Amino acid sequence: MEKVSLENKKILITGAAGFIGSNLAKRVLKEFPNSTVVGFDSMNDYYDVSLKEYRLKELETYSNFKFVKGNLADKNLIDSLFEENKFDVVVNLAAQAGVRYSITNPGAYIEANLIGFYNILEACRNNPVEHLVYASSSSVYGGNKKVPFSTDDKVDNPVSLYAATKKSNELLAHSYSKLYNIPSTGLRFFTVYGPAGRPDMAYFGFTNKLIKGEKIKIFNFGNCKRDFTYVDDIVEGVLRVMQGAPEKKNGEDGLPIPPYAVYNIGNSNPENLLDFVNILQEELVRAGVLPEDYDFEAHKELVAMQPGDVPVTYADTTPLERDYGFKPNTSLREGLRKFAEWYKEYYKNK
């Protein structure tokens, strides 16, 4: 592994107004005040834009942060951004997210996740970087029966277009790493949650519905298991990975061995959806988001599985521990408590 210093560097973070991107940008800005972070985001309205603006406002308090609004699929814009800035490290977190949305709006995924990622790879080829880190997803494992999911597993059976685009990112990155010696690391994130998260995620959507007195749908009759991973653990993992790139070296044929790697970042502790909902409701009551006497049973509906969903996600993070000395460890209760407290604070004047 090649050490990559983040001191006095130019770092591009795409999806910087997003949930993971904004949290990562904040960490980098705080810990490396001599570096410049350029945040890139389309600010699209897939979910409430005011949440993206709220995250962005926090970043704009840092003097070493610059924001560029634009579309990743705009090749000329991406090329000129790279030519002007000569980035040292690139973290591509911009993507059209969500499994269910990919069933109704496939075009958005092709544009952001395939064309957008291709533009990033081309820009890295023409303006060499020390390390390209990009978001993949636990969804690439599809309906794999073997758990925990290992990066050595075959992942050729995506059950959603979203998953297929993420697997494609890994394949594209591999070919660019091989052809142009670009050090790249893909990170398969497992169900990320936390304060100021994505409203389309279950814990956030459930909370919004419960407050309005609406019913929440618990899929697969509550028998889904998810490896919920707190956002700070994801950010810690990404930050460590940014600082250690796959080594450039040649094989016996004298040609480059692709400096390419993929890791899981997950909590390695799958939680049953019903247990998750119980902890969430306890923490919402504790934070004063919902009243003590809220009748949860009356607001729960157990329903069948949705197309594109998988019954279980479970990360094997042994390689991450081995190479970067890190294992996510925030408990679900601690993470949901922080979310509930943030929710109470954020929405109190709304």
What are 322-347's pLDDT values in tens digits? 999 999 999 999 999 999 999 999 98
Domain count of the fold of the chain = 1
Residue 279 is encoded by which pair of tokens? Answer: 């902890």
Q: Which of 46, 109, 162, 193 is catalytic?
A: 162
Distances from the Cα of 232 to the Cαs of 16, 22, 266, 349, in angstroms? 15, 11, 11, 26
> Average pLDDT for residues 221-249, to the nearest whole number?
94
Q: What is the CATH number of the domain that holds 69?
A: 3.40.50.720
- Provide the pLDDT confidence category of residue 99 given band limits of 50, 70 and 90: confident
Residue 83 covered by a domain:
yes
Residue the block writes with tokens 């040609």: 255
**Domain span holding position 184:** 2-194+228-268+313-329
Residue 68 lies in a domain: yes
Q: Phi first, then psi: give them for residue 203, nearest 5 degrees.
A: -60, -35
**Residue 350: what pLDDT?**
65
**pLDDT tens sequence across 105-147:** 999 999 999 999 999 999 999 999 999 999 999 999 988 889 8
Buried b (16+ CB within 10 A) or exposed e, 250-271: eeeeeebbbbbbbbbbbbbbbb
Average pLDDT over residues 175-194: 96
Alpha carbons 109 and 134: distance in angstroms, whole number: 16
Tell whether 157 is covered by a domain. yes
Rounded alpha-carbon distances, angstroms, from residue 100 to 82, 139, 161, 229, 269: 33, 12, 9, 20, 24
Cβ neighbours, 10 Å, residue 276: 24
- pTM > 0.85: yes or no: yes
Tell whether 299 is covered by a domain: no
In a domain, 223, yes or no: no
- Angle among Cα 128, 130, 133 to the nearest 5 degrees reads 105
Q: How far apart are CA 112 and CA 94, in angstroms?
A: 7
Sign of torsion over alpha carbons 71, 74, 79, 81: negative
Containing 258, the helix (H) or strand (E) segment is: none
Answer whether residue 98 shows pLDDT above 70. yes
Q: Is 162 a catalytic residue?
A: yes
Residue 13 forms part of a structural domain: yes
Residue 55 pLDDT greater than 90, yes or no:
yes
Q: Reading across the β-sheet that carries 260-265, which strands appear in turn?
A: 65-69, 36-41, 10-14, 89-92, 131-137, 184-189, 260-265
Query: Which two structure tokens, joined as six digits, stand for 349?
Result: 């004047």
CB 321 within 8 A of CB 148: no
42 versus 256: the higher-pLDDT residue is 42
- Quick check: 218 and 301 in contact, CB under 8 A? yes
The predicted pLDDT at position 9 comes to 98
What is the rounded CA–CA span in Å between residue 112 and residue 17? 15
Indicate left, alpha or beta for 225 from its phi (over 0: left) and psi (-120 to 50: alpha). Answer: beta
Is the pLDDT assigned to residue 286 strictly greater than 80? Answer: yes
Q: How far apart are CA 340 and CA 345, in angstroms?
A: 9
- E strand or H helix at 300: strand 300-302
What confidence score (pLDDT) does residue 182 get?
97
199 in a structural domain: no
Residue 160 identity (one-letter amino acid): S
Q: Decide if 297 is inside a domain.
A: no
Burial of 57 (0-12, 13-18, 19+ CB in 10 A): exposed
